[in-house]
Amino acid sequence: MRTLDEAEVLDIVSQGRNAAEHVVVAMLDGLETEHPGVYRVIYGEPSDAIASINKDMANLYLDLSCDVVWVFDRAFGKPPKIENEEDWVFRRLALIDAELKSLTKEISMDERFRDRLQERFVTRSMEANVQLALLKHLENEVLKYASWKKERTRAVQITNNLLFVLVRLLGELYSAQAPKAG
């Protein structure tokens, strides 16, 4: 999977925002059918967690998540099918969660373990070819939207974190090898 540049990301996002509604709905329906675990990362607990802080930012998360799925779909095609996809997603989310927790000193843990998790975070992010231009675009959108109403700023960090998790998860999904037909 190649790395997208800023111009490509902006062009693909623009195409998605101008696409016919039925095209976007069909893409999301396909994601729900083929990758229900990934779909729940968008429309499940993460958006509910953001909504508990600020409903506007939860709605923005849903919109930007749709942009993320659109970008991956248009740039890289359909993701590979994964056996036991929901378990795969759960395991990936647990790993990402531990890695993210290692980045803050506010969560106590053995320093050697923290160092290993931080190294793994960098390695796995590179292996998943995290789309940095896409993340930058998402962060800019979150900051811009939050700047219009002060009460939204409380949800900026969680919104950005959950968008990062989604981008990383999709990167790992698209980097996964489709199971060989046996």
How many angstroms separate the CA atoms of 59 and 51, rounded? 8
How many angstroms separate the CA atoms of 89 and 37, rounded? 6
Structural domain contains residue 15: yes
Structural domain contains residue 180: no
Lowest mean pLDDT among 28-37, 84-93, 126-135: 126-135
Nearest CA among 71, 39, 36, 41 for reference residue 141: 71
Work out how many domains the chain is built from and give that number: 1
Q: What is the pTM of this model?
A: 0.83
- 132-144 pLDDT, tens digit per residue, is 899 899 999 999 9
Structural domain contains residue 116: yes
Per the structure, the complete domain to which residue 32 belongs is given by 6-175
The pLDDT assigned to 120 comes to 63
Q: How far is CA 144 from CA 123, 139, 147, 152, in A?
A: 30, 8, 5, 10
Structural domain contains residue 171: yes
Chain centroid offset of residue 42 CA: 8
